Structure 1
Amino acid sequence: MSNEDPDRVEAAAEELYGVPPDDFVPVRDELVAAAREAGDREAAKAIGRLRRPTQAAWLANLLARERAQQLDGLLSLASDLTDAQRTLDGAALRTLSAQRGKLVAAMAREARALAGRDGHRVAESTERDLRGILDAALADPGIADQVRSGRLHRTVSYSGFGPDALAGAEPRPAPRRPAPADEPAPADGDEAGQDEVARDEQAERRARELADRLRSLDDTVAAEPEAREREQVDRDEHDDAARRLTEAKDRVADLVAELEQARAAQRDATEAERSAAATLRDSSSRLRTAAAEVERARARVEDLSG
């Protein structure tokens, strides 16, 4: 019977697919060793089977973890884009495909910027591979789920989606115009013609709605760099303020230490002054006694002389 701890394996996977590919194997080895040390050999085996992601897959995971809302917004268009391939005419489909391509490219650039923020350089070829992954996710719900999970480990692509799919797309027939009121419409096929017009009108509405959603997502993605720059400026200002606060705290600590030393010196000086004052009082008393003795001795001498 297996004693594998699913929580341990889940936590390990969550950690591993959040680290850069170069760090994956060392971190995995540490987690495997920790599981073995805990006596969970099954979890150690399961963790050891986790595959290191490719560079492009890691970038996709980075988007899923740090730009989940934007990524989900892009992937949510998958069904509408698939429907558009079947129902729209070539011109509308090319427009939507171009908008989709722009959004995919923007998301890929965002992933590259996130990696660069952490000091990781991303090659152009890797960014192209990431765009292929995003295109594949838009075409295949299974791949979309993998991308959303943030634990993708392979580079995937889908050749049947995008501009190449235009050749296989089903053109939309031109809508039939209703017959003028003074011309009798043919009895047979009239209902079918109205249904076809209704379908065409519905497809046009869907196309407009999809285009609006694409533009909205495009605006959201386009606003991301500005927000990131603003966040970086705010982060720099915060770091500068934190540095000044640390310096001020250090200065206060130094001053407090100096104050304690001064207070200790004051206490020592006060004690010394009190001790010296007591000694002075004793000396003064002895001096007065000695002076009195001198006066008495002088008086006795004077008495003898007289």
Structure 2
Amino acid sequence: MDDKALTAIALDLYALPFDEFMAARTAAAKASPSSAKELMAAVKALPKPSVAAWAVNMMSVHEPAVLAQLADLGQRMRAAQASLDAGALRELSRERRTLLAAAVDTARSVAERHGRAISATIATDVEQTLRALTADEGAAAAVQSGLLVQTLSADGVDTVDLDGAVAVPGAVPPPRTAVPNTAAVPTAAAAEQNAQEQGKRTTAEPARRQPADQPRLKAVRETPRPASPSALEKAKAALAEAREAEAESARLAAERQGQSEEAEVEVAELILETRDLRARLKTAEEELDRARKQQATSAAEAKQAARAAEKAQRSAVLAQERVLRLGNTRD
């Protein structure tokens, strides 16, 4: 199967508004060449992303600079952790909080522009995914690919689990593996091997060169290897970052608690207002009922008065006719 063709189709699909994905996927599968049955099946199998993953994909398409800024921050944080620079790590953690808050706001805006509102729960999932982006290079590549189908999470210690997170895993480049530079300061074993090989090549040279070579070889052997952070030191650095995250979580929890209390007060006020409105509505309905009854009574009385007036009018006409008859008789 042509992985490039599948990737191109997937990139188009995952860049669409959320509600258009299913229909577009079906259309893309049908549009595949009849000879490419494997490609058609692969397109049909592309999973629909979660709303949070879709929002992050929208950022990769419409706001890639935001993700690039977070990815750069992640590289600086990992460098600070590797060098056990606790001060730099604290400063970068504060910078990450600021950038994450702004990035979540950007995700909300981008999603709304493309027809989908982001709830508080989804915004939390987006923030966790963007935080994972800063955790390791693999997660950064997955997030920036625009092919996420589910959100990511990071614990600050282990590598972010990307299993099933990307629609086309082959489209995401693997993380680079750091290769130590041993050319500048060779290890003792390498130096000894080089010296032995050089000795084999120079067996025919006069013995006077050996004294000059021996101090140099000894100096190379005694050159200390660059110290790398121990597992304990790495764990301490990870612990410092975890504590920073814990403090941030506590701050967010306190902030959410404050918002919850404010909402609780607002709900109580609205309940009282609702009760007042219901009481006023009940009074108005009672007054309306009385007015309708009064209207019905008045209408009945008006009809009765009209009938009485009509009867009196007929009586008056009859009386007048009688008077006229009596007058004519006398004449």
Q: TM-score range by the shorter chain?
A: 0.3 to 0.5
Scaled by the length of structure 1, the TM-score of the pair is 0.47
Scaled by the length of structure 2, the TM-score of the pair is 0.44
